[in-house]
Structure 1
């Protein structure tokens, strides 16, 4: 199961509609659905379903930023909108090359995490 389908199974209904929850402020963000709560609340029941290694992946972090948004973000009701956009953005940001020996595709882009002090 891919990370996107796992998150979808944990936070949305079968038709893709994101499960709602009571409004709560977590890390200065108003959270009113299970998707944002999943990304922001380490105490969330589904948080342990995703391994530390999966949470460190670039795709997971990119999806989290897209789903959480910012102060003027427009929330979507269906998780598929977020997943489709994140996949397109991911493909635009990464470069791949075919290995001449094995004929397999390899990601050649480097991803850095920048932290401000």
Structure 2
């Protein structure tokens, strides 16, 4: 018999410094980005993750927080992300080599404006994230792009529909770091000279649909699908905590 997990809301809201919250506002993410943290009532093994996520999204406390209360959840598509990074070294490539989108002083190279995945791209950093045909795109492997840290970085760089882009890389790195630290748990691995390791498991919820097959979350319908409309579930089995980070793209027009 499958477990029926119970969830209680612990806290809501993105925990960042006032300076970093101002940056979220500048990037058009202050109204769309949300975070909800819950505890759950019994042990959970990773092999139970499918049942866990179904229980999570069907929970009255969770569905009310996500704005999907009362909707009939029949099918959930999700995928596991890797979460191996404890530093920002993943992004060193942005300053290395002849095709680096960022100069040694940290300033971001501009480019001819274009649009990819319904995002206005005005810098080579955007090209590295979104344009598969650009030279800069190859700086990150598929494995890199599957890292939760990379997903957070992409989220803040692209921002919302009214995003005011940065000229320097560092603000993006600073906010990515603080978001990441607020979402994942780490521990010291004594067998590897107290090396910091991530103990959280992260999953991206791709689609939640009802009995008629219509998807209603994270995007309210297929017409609302966007690279910036995302839902991440971060599970800490040891503490029995689960955090849901969502962002819903709000079109300008």
TM-score band, normalised by the shorter chain? 0.7 to 0.9
Higher relative contact order (CA 8 A, sep 6+): 2
Alignment equivalent of 1:5, drawn from 67, 92, 110: 92
Per-residue Cα deviation, 1:54-112 (whole angstroms, up to 9, x for no partner)? 12111111111110111122211101110111111111111112346554432111211
* Structure 2 spans left out of the alignment, 5+ residues: 1-87, 208-214, 216-253
Structure index of larger Rg? 2
TM-score normalized by the length of structure 2: 0.43
Residue 23 of structure 1: aligned partner = 113
Corresponding residue to 1:66 among 156, 170, 182: 156
CA RMSD of aligned residues (A): 1.9
Q: Is 2:123 the counterpart of 1:36?
A: no
Give the number of aligned pairs: 117
Determine if contact 1:8/1:79 at 8 Å carries over to the other structure. Answer: no
Structure 2 contact 115–121 (Cα < 8 Å) conserved:
yes
Aligned partner of 1:106 in structure 2 is 197
Residues 38, 47 of structure 1: 8 Å contact kept: yes
TM-score scaled by length of structure 1: 0.88
- Does the 8 A contact of 1:20 with 1:33 survive in 2? yes
The structure with the largest strand share of the pair is: 2
Q: Identify unmatched segments of 5+ residues in structure 1.
A: none
